[in-house]
A and B are shown apart, each in its own frame.
Chain A
Amino acid sequence: MAKFTREVLTVDGVKTVVHTAGSGEPLVFFHGAGTVDGFDFAEPWADKFRVIVPYHPGFGESGDDPTFTDMHDYVMHYLELFDIMKLDRFNLVGLSLGGYLAAKFASEHGHRIKKLALIAPAGMLDAKHPMMDILAVPGDQVVGLLVSNFEVLKKRLPEKLDLDFIGERYRESATVARLLWEHPGDPKFMRYLHRVKNPTLILWGDEDKIIPVQQAETWRKFIPNADIKVYKGAGHLVHLEKPEAVEAVSKFMS
């Protein structure tokens, strides 16, 4: 399996780290609100695609831009990055917060996207099946909520929660707070979500404790031609728990 190579770019003054692997049609992955889960799960995609995994500003290896205060700043950031990388049309996969961003990007710039996959996406205001307010949950409890089988996540965590790890998670939660503290959901996002016309696959674990799996159907109300795949016994990080979910994205994009 292809390994990722790391590239450091400057996008509108912000240090942006992009990991790429494989060749073929481009497939961009937007990570979620934390980066503890790593990217090695995406290696199988590199057998068929040129996989492009950027760190969002304020997360992981990329730099900070405290002027980013809403999701649209990230859409603008990616327009710039894709220009720099000369990426015209690509497949897009988004996980959780990255799913929210991917769907927002698609609602504004759908013509740039070939196919869209949303893994347990955030951003949906669903009064009947609300997302957990993750900012209100203490950091040490968050990890336990992310998966059904803790073993798959445990090996990615440091043995002892050291200061650097705590600091890095705090930095990422601060980035999320800048975006979502006052308004965890944006009615305007849903107002324009119907503009997503791309072939879309929605993936969810049926034991997702953070965003209830019932939201998959709510998403389909906005994106009627979306396919839904639900994985039994998986939590929010369904891509870590179920390799077949990763495989399903690959098949769908091919």
Chain B
Amino acid sequence: MHGSYRFNAMHFMPYVHLPENHKEFKSVWVDFPNKYYDPEKGHDLYQRYLSELVLADQLGYDAVVVNEHHNTAYSMMPTPNLIAAALIPQTKNCKICIWGTPPNFMLPNRLAEEYAVLDVLSKGRIEVAFPLGTGMEYWSNPVNPATAREKFKESLKIILQAWTEDGPTTHYGQYYTYRFLNPWPRPYQRPHPPCYIVGTGSPETIEIAAELGFGYSAVFVTQQRAVELNENLRKRAAHFGHTIRPDQTPIMSFAYVAETQERAEQEYIGHLQRFFEDFTRTTPHFLAPPGYLSVEQLKMRAAMADKLHGAFDFKTVSSSFFIAVGTPEKVANQIGEWSHQMKTGHINAVMHVADMPHWKTVKNLALFAEEVMPRLRSKSHAPMRIAAE
């Protein structure tokens, strides 16, 4: 069983005004010149994007999701906690998921403090994820990718200690020494906000989630791989004595809803294409800084990248990844199937991509909330009907 449904509206908040010559740049990450960022346009985009997430709250989404990336037009959220702080007073009911700040780029006590501040401010509406951070972030931040995983594990230990043990405590580790670990305030939720790990499927990262009993969300992996990763997480977590609940393994997905299938595709596909071709565009070198991946993972991903070469093809992309585009009925059925496959009703849906205009985002958010969510929620307590094809 997949538990009851839960719907998150996720936003990347891209800087959409790419220069005309942007295709000349192999990457819109890391070294994409920041002279192309116009703060006046950036201001308008922040206003707009925040209003979209506020609307999501009003429409009844269970959560809104923000995350962190650096040196890129892909996302204007190098500091997602600031975005979360801006959202708290403007939203009432939704959870605010910061999925999240890579602990390696902040002092662990500082991150524990910031999340606690947000949790207290929002009266316990915060959920956090701990990513290792993409390879690109390690070119943008002064942190060694070759020791990133060890440092990440130590940071997590410190943050959890700060949240679960009465302070002051001490920590003497390889990367950090705390003589008085005693952060004020403590989180509103006891012992701490729900925690997830997000990643792109490295077994080393899944092992960390399994050991801590955290949720895990695989991003930018194929459907088939996501199913395998979830199975593996459950198995490994059991090994450490944890049972992973359905709500702990959100499905990272893309959704677009319109009146007809044709119209949905016509309104959406161009933006999705630009998302994959332009906004995620980067180099293998930036994706995998030295030591960031094991040699086995590097070879596996290099082999996969060879296969993925070629022009954007909507059918291929939408059948490989969790992408639902069409009428409310089609999108609801699609999500129902994923939910069954992935054994979870926790749907984390990206509702805006690339240069999608405001009106489409609003339309998408509203149609999804009013036509898709009720269809699925009405089924959520009944046994899933397995397509008998």
Contact = CB atoms under 8 A, between A and B. Distances in A.
B86 interface: no
Interface stretch (A35-43, A177-185, A191-199): A177-185
Interface of B is mostly: helix
B146 A177 contact: yes
Interface in A176-218: 176-178, 181-182
A230 interface: no
A4 to B, nearest CB: 26
A167 B146 contact: no
A136 B310 CA distance: 27
Interface in A130-189: 135-136, 138-139, 163-164, 166-168, 170-171, 173-178, 181-182
A181 B145 contact: yes
Contacts of B288: 170
Interface in B298-313: 298-299, 302-303
B167 interface: no
Contacts of A181: 144-146, 290-291
A166 B284 CA distance: 12
Contacts of A135: 289-290
A167 B299 contact: yes
B299 A177 contact: no
A181 B302 CA distance: 23
Please classify how large the interface on chain B is, using the bins under 10, 10 to 19, 20 to 34, 35 or more: 20 to 34
A178 B291 CA distance: 8
Contacts of B303: 163
A62 interface: no
Contacts of A170: 288, 290, 293, 295, 298
B142 interface: yes
B25 to A, nearest CB: 14
B147 interface: yes
B283 A177 contact: no
Contact of A178 (B139, B147, B285): B147
A103 B67 CA distance: 46
Contacts of A176: 290
A193 B314 CA distance: 60
A182 B290 CA distance: 12
Given A181-B290, A182-B142, A166 B147 contact: no
A250 interface: no
Nearest to A161: B302
A181 B298 CA distance: 19
B219 to A, nearest CB: 23
Contact of A171 (B144, B147, B285, B295): B295
B144 A178 contact: yes
A166 B144 contact: no
Given A171-B295, A173-B290, A139 B302 contact: no
A181 B295 CA distance: 18
A69 interface: yes
A166 B300 CA distance: 11
A168 B290 CA distance: 12
A59 to B, nearest CB: 13
Contact of A166 (B142, B289, B298): B298
A177 B291 contact: yes
Nearest to A176: B290
B289 A177 contact: yes
Contacts of B147: 69, 178
A166 B285 CA distance: 12
A182 B147 CA distance: 11
A178 B146 contact: yes
A167 to B, nearest CB: 5
12 contacts: A69-B147, A135-B289, A135-B290, A138-B283, A166-B298, A167-B295, A170-B293, A170-B298, A177-B145, A177-B290, A181-B144, A181-B290
Ranked 5 nearest A-B pairs via Cβ: A174-B291, A177-B290, A138-B285, A173-B290, A177-B146
Given A173-B291, A177-B146, A177-B291, 14 more contacts: A69-B147, A135-B290, A138-B283, A166-B299, A167-B296, A168-B295, A173-B290, A177-B144, A178-B144, A178-B147, A178-B291, A181-B144, A181-B145, A182-B142
Interface of B: 139, 142, 144-147, 283-285, 288-291, 293, 295-296, 298-299, 302-303
